[in-house]
Amino acid sequence: MYFSDLLDGYLARKLDQVSETGKIIDPLADKISVIVISLILLYLGKIPLWFVLIVVFRDLFILGFGIYLDKKKDIRLMSNYPGKIAVFSIGVIILFAVTDNSFLLKINNYLYFVSLILIFYSSYLYFIRFKKSIDSQNG
């Protein structure tokens, strides 16, 4: 899922096929798939509730601010690199959770911590960019 998304984004930029619709639909599809997979893994007891709640809240936070900027200010914020790394870490956690490999599951305990730091840091950066976008439109 993540590798095909990375390839898709790379090819879109390389072949100059980036569209405004794609800038909206691609991240939305990513958020929906991560939320659905996380909820399934939660139901199966593979990942903890607290982690799912943080991931879902992060995605809703970004989605809500993104919709606001798009509708009210006609602005679309691109993802930031810490955000991309955070999403990658979430993907690795999901991948390791489905393996049932005890060694990988032990690594996941550390990845939860790293992922949380990345999620909070990238969300903070996104909020700062959101606020600057609002302030620059009002000022």
Average pLDDT by consecutive 10-residue portion of the chain (139 residues)? 61 70 70 89 96 92 83 74 88 91 90 94 89 74
Task: Quickly list DSSP for 9-25.
Answer: HHHHHHTT---HHHHHH
CA dihedral of 43, 116, 123, 29, whole degrees rounded to 10: -30
Classify each residue of 87-100 as buried b or exposed e, where b means 16 or more C-beta atoms within 10 Å of its C-beta.
bebbbbbbebbeee
Range of the domain at 27: 2-138
pTM (two decimals): 0.79
Q: How much is the pLDDT for 7? A: 62
43 vs 80: CA distance, rounded Å: 31
CB 8 within 8 A of CB 26: yes
Q: How much is the pLDDT for 87? A: 87
Q: How much is the pLDDT for 120? A: 93
Q: At what angle do helices 102-138 and 49-68 cross, to 10 degrees?
A: 20
Q: How much is the pLDDT for 96? A: 93
Domain count of the chain? 1
